[in-house]
Amino acid sequence: MDLSEFADRLDEELRTDDYADLDASANGLQVGPDEGSVDHVAFAVDGVRETTDRAIDAGADALVTHHGLSWGGFDRVTGRTYDRIAPLIEHDLALYVSHLPLDGHPELGNAAGVADCLGLENRAPFGELGPEYVGQRGVAPESFAPDELRDRLENDLETGGQPVQVLEFGPEEIDEVAIVTGSGTDWLDEAVAADADALVTGEGKQKAYHEAREAGIHVFLAGHYATETFGVRALQGLADEWGLETTYLEVPTGL
């Protein structure tokens, strides 16, 4: 498959252009030639030296990640930035990135993957960001106790052996769940306004403790990495359907 066709297919599926003014990440093809071909694609959460080196060792032609290299552009290609870009160019490895578009996709997105793990029903977009959304909310088929929801997340997510932290300030039974993966506590007020019993996200901020306590809502901090493996795995499934060889590179951070 031509590299340009591969990138265009992903851009269309993920509606990359619709997030252009909303996301600091330069989504789409970040590193790659004008002309090239793709037979083998590696997938990972983070575009870093370890995943690049492992993609090269696997013989991949392209690496697809959630977190890329360009966040608002480069002032200089030196130091760590050079060390990350140079192997891509030296080994002719293209880098495709999808950040917020992959968070909010209703079927392939990270939040959708967490919702699948929890078996949520009656789903709706959540996590408003301008005209778009970066998460999902839904209803549990049977009420969760807080420890049951924590255990489900710990069992189903790639937490690297780390426990799921819980700010346990909500009701005894959890029915309505809001999800924004990664660093999502900025949407805590939206979760409260949506009458959610719990917000599931990756990592928290100091202020979230008191905000959750005062609002009477649970917050589950399941790990930034752990909540954001679903999207790239879903894209791997797409590439498999397109007849490409694929490799998933698991590099959990425990954070």
Q: Which residues are annotated as a binding site for a divalent metal cation?
A: 66-67, 103, 224, 228
Bind-site residues: 66-67, 103, 224, 228
Could you tell me which of 199, 205, 166 has the C-alpha nearest to residue 181?
A: 199
Amino acid at 152: R
Give, in order, the Cα–Cα distances in Å from 41 to each of 50, 113, 244, 248.
Answer: 16, 21, 7, 9
Distance CA 185, CA 203 (A): 8
The answer to whether 37 and 2 have CB atoms below 8 angstroms apart is: yes
Structure tokens at 223: 């790990």
DSSP string for 178-208:
EE--SB-GGGHHHHHHTT-SEEEESB--HHH
Distance CA 90, CA 74 (A): 19
- Strands 132-144 and 174-179, sheet pairing: antiparallel
